[in-house]
């Protein structure tokens, strides 16, 4: 039974909660697109979430296989089931292929091509990050810049789970222009600004993960240099990563403010909550054996988890109710 649990653990279902960020994309679609009722799209959203989770678990399986040798140099990961041989490589490979297949079949069954493309981008992201000759995880700065792409991809999956399931996706029909009938079409693409802003959040989270990894090696007084575990860590310092963390979060804040002004000024209400969240996150980043390097360990910090849920729930509620507070602006 323990072997079954360890095999399942290779595919990191404990990180599926990260895929819930796609729901923000669905909420954005409801808030921006005309005449959309979230309940009407509950089934395609749920199926998209399942497909996305299967796809990311497949990526994790391939990642575990290709990282066996480098994980041996990590003070904690060297005890993982695949590294120690408690789980076979062939087993993980077969299950990864099955997960990829199920994910692809599920999304194809939705007959939603924009969503299918977004899901394939998640697969491509995993391949370029892990597999040679690309393997961007070994290239300094490109490692977290590429991994951060998963954030806007998740957002796009959520958006197109709704938009792609509409009766007439991509087309808006209007008439009576200038007294005569006219047909005007415009594509309902997810606003680029939201993709870029969530990309900056991804950069912040991934660079803080590298920051936590470097600090772990220092605090554990490991004999190995961090670069023996992850090649890109040879080129980083805590100071450089802090610069990236601050630059990315400032960029997100500026862009999100502009998007709030354009789409829903009430989102400004999130500002004080966001400031507290960032301060709290930086405090966690400086803790010994910080959770920022292990996203699934967020459940260890109940207070921070609750506050994060409060933050996201407030964001979701403001999107759903629309502009109700600052109506005079």
Residue 55: inside a domain, yes or no? yes
Whether pLDDT at 219 is above 50: yes
| CA gap 328, 265 in Å, rounded | 10
Residues of the chain with pLDDT > 90: what percent?
59
Q: What is the chain's mean pLDDT, rounded?
A: 87
Least confident span in 27-31, 143-147, 228-232:
228-232
Q: Which domain holds residue 66?
A: 2-321
The pLDDT value given to residue 321? 85
Query: Could you tell me where the DSSP H helices lie in the chain?
Result: 2-10, 22-32, 42-66, 68-71, 81-84, 89-109, 113-130, 142-147, 150-163, 192-219, 226-229, 238-263, 270-285, 302-321
Among 157, 41, 42, 166, which Cα is nearest to 103's?
157
* More confidently predicted of 328 and 51: 51
Whether pLDDT at 329 is above 90: no
Q: What is the pTM of this model?
A: 0.87
Residue 172: inside a domain, yes or no? yes
Cis peptide before 203 (omega within 30 of 0): no
Please write the tens of the pLDDT for every residue from 177-194.
334 433 333 457 889 999
Query: Mean pLDDT throughout 321-328?
Result: 72
Please write the tens of the pLDDT for every residue from 84-115.
889 999 999 999 999 999 999 999 999 999 99
Residues of the chain with pLDDT > 70: what percent?
89
| CA gap 205, 308 in Å, rounded | 14
Among 73, 320, 324, which Cα is nearest to 217's?
73
Residue 326: inside a domain, yes or no? no
Please write the tens of the pLDDT for every residue from 142-159.
999 999 999 999 999 999
| CA gap 61, 242 in Å, rounded | 30
Whether pLDDT at 223 is above 70: no
- Which among 47-51, 224-228, 267-271 has the top mean pLDDT? 47-51
Q: Any idea what the CATH number is for the domain that residue 28 is in?
A: 1.10.600
Residue 231: inside a domain, yes or no? yes
Residue 328: inside a domain, yes or no? no
Residue 137: inside a domain, yes or no? yes
Confidence band, pLDDT 50/70/90 cuts, at residue 46: very high
Which backbone phi and psi does 35 adopt, to 5 degrees?
Answer: 55, 50
The pLDDT value given to residue 325? 72
Query: Mean pLDDT throughout 238-246?
Result: 95
Angle at which helices 89-109 and 2-10 cross, to 10°: 60
Residue 24: inside a domain, yes or no? yes
The pLDDT value given to residue 177? 37
Which residues does 37 contact at the CB level (< 8 Å), separation at least 6? 30
The pLDDT value given to residue 78? 84
Residue 191, helix vs strand vs coil: coil
Whether pLDDT at 224 is above 80: no
- Structurally, the chain folds into a number of domains equal to 1
Whether pLDDT at 48 is above 60: yes
Please write the tens of the pLDDT for every residue from 274-309.
999 999 999 999 998 899 988 888 899 999 999 999
Query: Mean pLDDT throughout 47-68?
Result: 95
| CA gap 36, 39 in Å, rounded | 9
Query: Mean pLDDT throughout 219-245?
Result: 79
The pLDDT value given to residue 13? 92
Which residues does 94 contact at the CB level (< 8 Å), separation at least 6? none
Whether pLDDT at 30 is above 60: yes
Residue 93: inside a domain, yes or no? yes
């Amino acid at each position: 039974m323990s072997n079954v649990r360890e095999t399942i653990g290779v595919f990191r279902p404990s990180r599926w909660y990260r895929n819930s960020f796609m729901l923000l994309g669905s909420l954005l679609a409801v808030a921006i697109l005309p005449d959309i009722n979230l309940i009407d799209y509950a089934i395609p959203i749920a199926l998209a979430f399942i497909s996305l989770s299967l796809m990311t678990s497949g990526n994790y399986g391939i990642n575990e296989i290709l990282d066996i040798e480098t994980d041996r140099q990590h003070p904690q990961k060297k005890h993982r089931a695949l590294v120690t041989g408690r789980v076979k490589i062939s087993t993980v490979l077969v299950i990864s292929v099955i997960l990829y297949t199920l994910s692809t079949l599920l999304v194809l069954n939705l007959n939603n091509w924009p969503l299918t493309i977004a899901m394939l981008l998640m697969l491509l992201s995993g391949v370029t990050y892990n597999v040679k000759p690309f393997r961007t995880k070994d290239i300094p700065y490109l490692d977290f810049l590429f991994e951060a792409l998963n954030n806007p991809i998740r957002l796009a999956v959520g958006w197109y789970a709704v938009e792609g399931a509409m009766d007439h996706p991509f087309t808006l029909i209007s008439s009576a222009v200038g007294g005569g009938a006219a047909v005007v079409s415009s594509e309902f693409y997810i606003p680029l600004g939201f993709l870029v802003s969530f990309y900056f959040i991804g950069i912040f989270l991934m660079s803080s993960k590298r920051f936590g990894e470097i600090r772990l090696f220092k605090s554990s007084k490991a004999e190995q240099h961090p670069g023996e575990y992850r090649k890109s860590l040879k080129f980083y310092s805590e100071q450089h990563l802090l610069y990236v963390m601050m630059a990315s979060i400032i960029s997100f804040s500026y862009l999100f403010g502009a998007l709030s002004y354009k789409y829903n000024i009430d989102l400004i209400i999130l500002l004080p909550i966001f400031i507290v969240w960032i301060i709290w996150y930086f405090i966690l980043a400086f803790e010994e054996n910080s959770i920022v390097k292990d996203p699934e360990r967020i459940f260890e910090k109940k207070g921070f988890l609750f506050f994060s849920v409060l933050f996201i729930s407030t964001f979701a509620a403001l999107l759903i109710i629309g502009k109700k507070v600052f109506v005079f602006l």
